[in-house]
Amino acid sequence: MSDNRVWSYSATLMGSPILLKLFANNEALAARVFGLIKRYEDLLTVNRAHSQVMDINHAAGQHPVAVSRPVYELIKCAKAASMVQDSAFNLAIGPLVKLWRIGFKGDRVPPADEITARLRITHPQDVVLNDTDGSVFLTQPGMEIDLGAIAKGFIADRVRDYLHQQDVRDGLINLGGNVQTLGTPQGSWSIGLKKPFSSSDALVGSIDVVNKSVVTSGTYERYFEQDGKRWHHILDPRSGYPLDNELDSVTIISRDSLDGDIWTTLIFGLGVEKGCALLKQREDIEAIFVTKNRDIILSSQRQFRFTPCDDSYRITD
Ligand code: FAD
Ligand code: MG
Ligand code: MG
């Protein structure tokens, strides 16, 4: 007999807290899920000397590198998102991410001339793909692919697919901000939306979803302070500096967490007005914007229900 008791399993992978929730006590399944995440981390990480992505990066300016199908397909998808007109998403942002080191030891504002020099080796069109042999070639020396803004979404979807295969109907996986849900325990899953820059676990509201992914990207997640200013980890590929607009965070509700990841970055680059306009073209994707002025803007509420819980924020539909 199943009941509504939830079992939670946690791990630290990809430098992030990982949480799995199941409706059965199944330690072995949790271990297999964490093993799956670990295998993808090993293929995709850029924080170690070796991975399939690092093999591509090491061969920049020299030769193409054939990679496994899932890695190739993810890179292809990341390149397509990067080539959208005015896209803030850029899979070739690696040299700038490594220069700033935000969230890692030694982060600091780099000299302007170093930023300018690295902007020359961050063009997504210089990532050359070959569908026939599944190879990737970075045409300029020093180029680096960084999938930090998309890999967690891709992996969250693989975990969902794996749980489906294992006949798990209800569950939740949270990969440090990428939440993917299965099923409808007690009607829906309720996911907290963090209050930006609050020291505690304070929330601005909660989001109720059924069979949806909820992805949040925020300026408050990874940042450092220098010269009286906060420098966060979502970089503007046009300027080489952290994106600076009215937003504290963007949350995307979608079926696939991969879309959530792409769209949080796209929308961050566009801001509220242009972001809402672009979302009108995609009925299957919805957003919650949290601004520095304490406005919460909901693109629409077809796929989720939002319950506010902080009076200092104003809600706009
Ligand atoms: P998002 O907003 O989704 O993405 C921000 C990240 O995307 C940045 O950190 C950068 O990596 C990249 N990025 C920045 N600007 C852009 C842009 N304009 N376009 C595209 N991408 C951009 N953290 C650790 O501390 N230690 C680790 O060992 C570690 N290993 C990891 C291994 C893997 C496979 C992955 C996916 C992540 C790992 N991380 C690790 C976390 C990583 O460094 C990022 O902090 C994390 O992916 C950010 O995800 P997010 O959803 O919070 O932010
Ligand atoms: Mg993300
Ligand atoms: Mg995040």
Centre of ligand 1 from the C-alpha of residue 215, in Å: 13
Determine the pLDDT at residue 3: 61
Q: Is 73 helix (H, G, I), strand (E, B) or coil?
A: helix
The answer to whether ipTM exceeds 0.90 is: yes
Q: Which residue's structure tokens are 């079926």?
A: 255
Neighbours of ion ligand 3 (CB under 5 A): 177
Name, in order, each residue with C-beta under 8 angstroms of 229's C-beta and a sequence gap of 6 or more: none
pLDDT, tens only, 32-86:
999 999 999 999 999 999 999 999 999 999 999 999 999 999 999 999 999 998 8
Low pLDDT (below 70) residues in the chain: 1-3, 185
**What sign does the CA torsion over 185, 191, 192, 197 have?**
positive
The pLDDT score that the predictor gives to residue 1 is 42
Under the phi-then-psi rule, with left for phi > 0, alpha for psi from -120 to 50, and beta for the rest, what region is 123?
beta
Give the pairing type, strands 229-232 and 223-226. Answer: antiparallel
Instruction: Specify the ligand 1 atom closest to the Cα of 151.
Output: 36
* Pairing mode, strands 314-316 and 295-298: parallel
Nearest ligand 1 atom, CA 102: 9
Spacing, Cα 275 to ligand 1 middle (Å): 22
Question: Strand, helix or coil at 185?
Answer: helix
User: Are 291 and 247 spatial neighbours (Cβ–Cβ below 8 Å)?
Assistant: yes
Assess contact for 183 and 171: CB atoms under 8 A: yes
Q: Whose CA is nearest to atom 47 of ligand 1?
A: 148
DSSP designation for 106: T
123 within ligand 1 shell (Cβ under 6 A): no
Q: Hey, how many other C-beta atoms are within 10 angstroms of the C-beta on 146?
A: 24
3-state secondary structure of 157: helix
Residue 9 token pair: 């399993």
Mutate to test the pocket of ligand 1, among 43, 47, 89 (most ligand atoms within 8 A of CB): 47
C-beta of 235 in contact with ligand 1 (< 6 A) = yes
